[in-house]
Amino acid sequence: MATVAVEEKLISPLGRVEGDLDLKIKIEDNIVCDAWTQASMFRGFEIILKGKDPQAGLIVTPRICGICGGSHLYKAAYALDTAWRTHVPPNATLVRNIAQACETLQSIPRWFYALFAIDLTHKNYRKLPEYDEVVRRFAPFTGTSYEKGVTLSGKPVEVYAIFGGQWPHSSFMIPGGVMCAPTLSDVTRAISILEYWKNEWLEKTWLGCSIDRWLENKTWEDVLAWAEENESQYNSDCALFLRFGKAAGLDRYGGGCGSYLATGTYFMPEMYEHPTIEGRNQALINRAGVYDGEEFHDFDHLRVRESTAHSFYKGDTYLHPWEGVTEPIDPKEGHAQGKYSWAKSPRYEVPGKGPMPLEAGPLARQVIAGRPGAAEYQDYDPLFLDAIKTVGPSVLVRVMARMHEACKYYKLAQKWLRELRLHEPFYSKPVEYPEGKGFGATEAARGALADWIVLKDGKIENYQVITPTAWNIGPQDGNGVHGPMEQSFIGTQIRDPSDPVEMGHVARSYDSCLVCTVHVYDAKTDRELSRFRIGELG
């Protein structure tokens, strides 16, 4: 019987996933046969929030993640809006929408060039066609597109600063609206900055065509044809990435669990003047929903649970976040109990199917956008549902879904800027009820993000946050089912086990901001699994 080499490998740190992610993989004949994602840092934000001012989440939760702090603020404000039954003037909803969109517009080029594309310059790929061109454009710091993309990524958040004072880490969204009251030149400046960003990066560098031409693509086949349509599009960063990504095999691995979650974002101002949990789905422009691989379901936050079976918290709990507990244990003790990450494992109780892990992020959002039955004001977009049904999910498709959103959110932000009515209110002072329960959610650049708050005696009784990173990189649940990213690693072929760049591609395609998990791992108390220990199976 042939001997199969099984190598266990710990990659620590993985880097460029924002925060600390350690990955333990088991390789058999250069194929990943098992994977454990280990979030390795814990700060205890949910513990800090207990007993604090009801509005403390507006200051604290943005600091969970400096990359999507504006998204944290957005959902923290809605958690209080629902708990305090506020009135939110339409202007305030528009400003919140604009700010949320601008944070994401910042993230798209910054993520692509600084975090993702530099791996394409890896020496593994030096024999592929157009490698020199990829290096010329995407090499860190010196690449022509890298420098442009990273520097111009600061532009959309200039718009955020006009409304919120600064980015990152403003707390200008508050229950009842926003703190600012923009003037005419604030709005015209914002319009002009976005226009500049769109011209200089999105159209000139990324697409090589107008955003309207890009948005005519409704199927994956359309995208492939678009890339060959003319010289300008062929030479764009987008088309270069498509060609090179395919040559590098990014379309052949990293698919994941095949089930998706969007908690949705951006509200119709007139439909959400009185934010309620029940009225949320209907008022969303970018819809919430769950796709279980076969059918769509409406999103219902009451079906969300978090498992601590393999996370460094006391016991093996499986609770809805309103009842959620955060009691950390020493990772050393945790390892002895088979636990391996600071991330909890969020699961969704799919009707008729039970608990499922769900992928969050741009691909998930765009799959949900393909669900038929959208209202006239809601986003309907069949492109990525078509992609996962025709070519299937992969690193390449996940990247393209993220980039696609730049065009959509740009158009929305410009539309909302034109809808602001400067002489009307931006804030409606709420009654600060001492008791209540709230739920607020949004879509951070990297996916579904939500807060659950319980107020009692005028202070926070319980505060639980579920980040997109927890959805994606969470460990196995109580049933031993792997999280979405773990599933994405399994089955991947690794060319050079001593330098597994493929693992980097997969992890970064999720844009997991690990700091964003609130709770995270310890790779190495697993002493017996020391790096490069080579075992053998008969």
Partner 1 sequence: MTTLLWLQGGACSGNTMSFLNAEQPSACDLVTDFGIEVLWHPSLGMEMGDHAQEIFRACASGEQPLDIFVFEGTVILGPNGTGRFNMFADRPMKDWVAELAPQANVVVAIGDCACWGGIPATAPNPVDSVGLQYLKRQRGGFLGSEFRSKWGLPVINIPGCPAHPDWVTQILVAIATGRAKDIALDELQRPLTFFKTFTQTGCTRVQFFEYKQATKEFGQGTRTGCLFYEFGCRGPMTHSPCNRILWNRQSSKTRAGMPCTGCTEPEFPFYDLAPGTVFKTQKISGVIPKDIPEGTDHVTYMAHAAAARVAAPEWAKEDMFVV
Chain positions 380 to 419 lying near partner 1, rule: CB under 8 A, are none
Does position 64 interact with partner 1 (CB under 8 A)? The reply is yes
Q: Locate 138 and state its tokens.
A: 């995407």
Beta bridge partners, 319, equal 306
**Subset of residues 488 to 507 that bind partner 1, contact rule: CB under 8 A:** 498-500, 504
271 is written with which tokens?
């439909």
Q: How far is CA 332 from CA 189, 228, 315, in A?
A: 53, 55, 15
Stretch that binds partner 1, among 109-117, 253-261, 288-296, 404-412 (CB under 8 A): 109-117
Q: Does 20 bind partner 1 (CB under 8 A)?
A: yes
12 near partner 1, rule: CB under 8 A: yes
Amino acid at 15: G
Using rule CB under 8 A, residue 337 touches partner 1: no
Residue from 207, 364, 385, 523 binding partner 1 (CB under 8 A): 523
Q: Tell me the window of 9-17, 202-210, 276-284, 373-381 that interacts with partner 1 (CB under 8 A).
A: 9-17
What's the DSSP call for residue 61? Answer: G
HEC assignment per residue over 377-435: CCCCCCHHHHHHHHCCCCHHHHHHHHHHHHHHHHHHHHHHHHHCCCCCCCECCCCCCCC
Cβ 90 to partner 1, closest distance in Å? 12
* β-strand pairing of 359-360 with 260-262: parallel
Among 7, 18, 292, 451, binds partner 1 (CB under 8 A): 18
Name the one range near partner 1 by CB under 8 A: 370-378, 401-409, 485-493, 522-530: 522-530
Residues 30-59 within binding reach of partner 1 (CB under 8 A): 40-45, 47-48, 51-56, 58-59
Site for partner 1 in 413-472 (CB under 8 A): 422-423, 425-429, 458-459
b/e 378-406 (16+ beta carbons within 10 angstroms → b): bbebebbbbbbeebebbbbbbbbbbbbbb
Tokens of 215: 């948005």
- Identify residues 115-154 at the interface with partner 1 (CB under 8 A): 115, 118, 140-142, 146-147, 150-151, 153-154
Rule CB under 8 A: choose which of 7, 8, 10, 84 binds partner 1.
Answer: 10
Binders of partner 1 in range 69-108 (CB under 8 A): 69, 89, 92
Residue carrying the six token digits 């990014």 = 250
525 is a site residue for partner 1 (CB under 8 A):
yes
Identify residue 11 by its one-letter amino acid code.
I
Kindly identify the residues of this chain, within the stretch 169-188, that bind partner 1 according to CB under 8 A.
169-172, 174, 176-181, 183-184
Q: How many residues make contact with partner 1 (CB under 8 A)?
A: 99
Does residue 279 bind partner 1 (CB under 8 A)? no
> Of 223, 219, 242, 239, which is closest to residue 231 (Cα–Cα)?
239
The verdict on 481 binding partner 1 (CB under 8 A) reads no
Question: Residue 13, interface with partner 1 (CB under 8 A)?
Answer: yes
Q: Which residues contact 303 (CB under 8 A, 6 or more apart)?
A: 348, 349, 350, 351
